Structure 1
Amino acid sequence: MAPSAGAAPSAGTSGSSIGENIQLLVDRPDGTYCFRLHRDRVYYLSEKLLKLAASVPRDSLVAPGTCFGKFTKSQKFRLSVTALDFLAPYAKYKVWVKPGSEQSFLYGNHVLKSGLGRITENTAQYQGVVVYSMADVPLGFGVAAKSTQECRKVDPLAIVVFHQADVGEYVRNEDTLT
């Protein structure tokens, strides 16, 4: 894998979910990590692993690190659920869903106001959020359909978080996650 093939997640994806904390993903106490583009997918890996991957022919390389997401045919970046464990600890904006709504979210549905447990104060509309269970277990990603203030006064059947990715994809889409 060529070092010049670097890419960072675009704004509106993980950058909007964790903000300036993205620097904490690169400069870690256990070494320096980086983002690399390989076959329309963005991978997160240590520089040590990057050097080892450079000795493998590009055609034979399946996944040099953890897949953070991929670029669609229209060149938009789509965040993958495989990035959840790395992004959740640094998320600036969070949404907690009630236990009765967890399964619905894990089947790929949006979060309704009736299933909203809590939301981070001052979350703006269309802000990237990490969705948690009430037990603080990260379940996936989404985009706030309503701001925190709007969530307080909307109808119980209104969508408050648009679904992007969830841990249920490990089962539903296991063959396409690499």
Structure 2
Amino acid sequence: MRPLTEEETKVLFHNPRVQKDKVYYVSEAVMKKATAVKRKDLLSLGTCFGKFSKTGKFRLGITALDYLSQFAKYKVWIKPSGEMSYMYGNHVLKAHLGRITEDTPEHQGVVIYTMNDIPVGFGVTAKSTADCRKLDPTAICVYHQTDIGEYLRDEDTMF
């Protein structure tokens, strides 16, 4: 992925808010209306982008996918035959790789799409674009980070 431009940074980080170690992206209008609710009674506000771990590291959540997919520099498209495998938390194999952005480096964060351009998750490339072309069909091309199947698997702990 590429660094955000100055304008994109202003748009993205205009109203982030933290509550109970979770980072939310909130519009100004919704934020003003939420001041009528007591802080202890407020469960969430806006879109959850991720959360801070106990060690202070930030873990990006799948709920940020729709926002971040708009700004992704590196993308990977998976074939329909590999979609379900990916949704169950498996890595993207060469056999499931439909397309990959040209000149994607190794160990680069990518957004995973279906062949119909629907964003379905995040990952990290195991090999560069050039190296992926030379791999055998069972080799891993993209390491799984998170996917939209997380909504179902982690439903009880997500919010």
Normalising by the residue count of structure 1, what TM-score does the alignment of the two structures yield? 0.81
Aligned to 2:36: 55
Q: CA deviation at 1:65?
A: 1.1
**2:81 matches 1:100:** yes
Q: Deviations over 1:112-155 (max 9, x none)?
A: 11111111011112211110011111111111111112211123
Cα shift at 1:81: 0.9
Bigger shift: 156-165 or 47-56? 47-56
Q: CA RMSD in A?
A: 2.0
Which of residues 72, 84, 91 in structure 1 aligns to 2:53? 72
Structure 2 residue runs of 5 or longer lacking an equivalent are none
1:121 maps onto 2:102 in alignment: yes
Alignment correspondent of 1:174: 155
Whole-Å Cα distance in 1 between the matches of residues 7 and 96 of structure 2?
33
How far residue 33 of structure 1 moved from its aligned partner, in angstroms, is 4.1
Equivalenced residue count is 159
Q: Secondary structure at the match of 2:142?
A: strand
**What residue in structure 1 maps to residue 4 of structure 2?**
20
Identity %: 55
- Decide which moves more: 122-131 or 55-64: 55-64
Distance change in 2, residues 1:22/1:54 (3 Å) = farther
Contact preservation (8 Å) 1:142, 1:163: yes
Counterpart AA for 2:137: P
Query: Normalized against structure 2, the TM-score is what?
Result: 0.89
Runs of 4+ in 1 over 6 A off after TM superposition: none
What is the rounded CA distance, in whole Å, between the counterparts of 1:21 and 1:98 in structure 2? 31
- What stretches of structure 1 of length at least 5 have no aligned partner? 1-16
2-structure distance, mates of 1:156, 1:21: 37
Alpha-carbon distance between aligned partners in 1 of 2:148 and 2:5, rounded to the nearest angstrom: 22
Q: Counterpart in 2 of 1:14?
A: none
